[in-house]
Amino acid sequence: MCKPLLLAAVAAVSLAASLAAGGASARDQIRIVGSSTVYPFAIAVAEDFGRSTGFQTPAVESTGSGGGLKLFCEGIGVGTPDIANASRPIKTSEIELCEANGVFGIVEVKIGFDGIVLANAVQSPVYDLTKEQIFLALAKNPPKDGALLANPYTRWNEIDGNLPAHKIEVYGPPPTSGTRDAFVELVMEEACQSFEVYEAMTKAGRKAFCAEIREDGAFIEAGENDNLIVQKLAANPNALGIFGFSFLDRNADRVQGSPVDGVAPTFENIADGAYPVSRSLFFYVKKAHIGAIPGLDRYVEIFTGDAATGPNGFLADRGLIPLPEGERKTVRENATALKTVKELRNRGN
């Protein structure tokens, strides 16, 4: 057995022995951290798990995808989380961090899709935006008249006369958020390629140009609590907020979504791929904790079942966009077999 696998096996045996001994370090409750977008879905599954099994309801904490995976990768054992929710795939650098701390078996479970929306209060005009307009509003150094400048735009109608004359105020997630990562990738990095200055840039120059968000107060980091952004929009009708579709869906009486590139952020448009700002949602499980933390395998089984993530499942009622039937079946089979993220990526699944 190679050294990494040997270390993982020894740690897993130690964890199981600790729990079996019933010592002070033992834990009989699943601990889950991570994405604020996945959080409401995980809470719903945790509550169903607590009602339908003889196990304790899992403890779920919203820390952001990056923050949750950092905690997840601290090691294995009762002092570390069993599951990390993520609104983006785990990064190679995060897998390497996990392995450096003895976490070698990381089981990846894809649960469905979500859209990233720009929303505002229902009493305000609807913003009909393009990715390029969003980029110009939020980029740190957008192009203007052929030059890259510290963002000169203070009002939306300065970008396009058809947009409202409101001050640019956008509440959004911090850098530790998977929603922020996905927004940068799907909106900022795609939009920046449409500007002529992009072609003349170096790779490093493109990264800075495309990904850096302005820091002059027009973009306001609102933390990992998307419910807080909804509250701020209700109180400030001129502002926009960035968060997952599920929060828009649950707060339709208070906020409305902005069409992007002419497509509205609806359940149907995200499900069929028409809405251009959508992403996959995941959770990651420590293989070493299966069989050691009571009920962990059963939690995975419930989460991947049709009653939860199917088209008529209880998570669809909360805004989750289900995977196609064939992919959902494959995900369930891989999760049951505890296929690791490395196995899945190596096989191209």
What per-residue confidence (pLDDT) applies to 43? 97
- In the Cβ-directed half-sphere of 59, how many Cα atoms lie within 13 Å? 10
pLDDT at 12: 52
CA–CA gap between residue 145 and residue 169 (Å, rounded): 24
End-to-end CA, the chain? 26
The pLDDT > 90 percentage for the chain reads 75
Contacts of 12 (CB under 8 A, 6+ apart): 76, 288, 289, 292
**Distance between CA 114 and CA 269 in Å, rounded?**
11
The amino acid at residue 333 is E
Please state the pTM of the whole predicted model: 0.80
What separation in angstroms does the CA of 76 have from each of 7, 8, 25, 35, 337? 11, 8, 13, 20, 20
> Residue 90 corresponds to which tokens in the numbers above?
């785990």
Quick: pLDDT tens for 52-68. Answer: 999 999 999 999 999 99
Low-confidence ranges of the chain (pLDDT < 50): 1, 4-5, 18-25
CB atoms within 10 A of CB 235: 9
CA 82 to chain centre: 18
Q: How far apart are CA 224 and CA 66, in angstroms?
A: 11
pLDDT of residue 20: 45
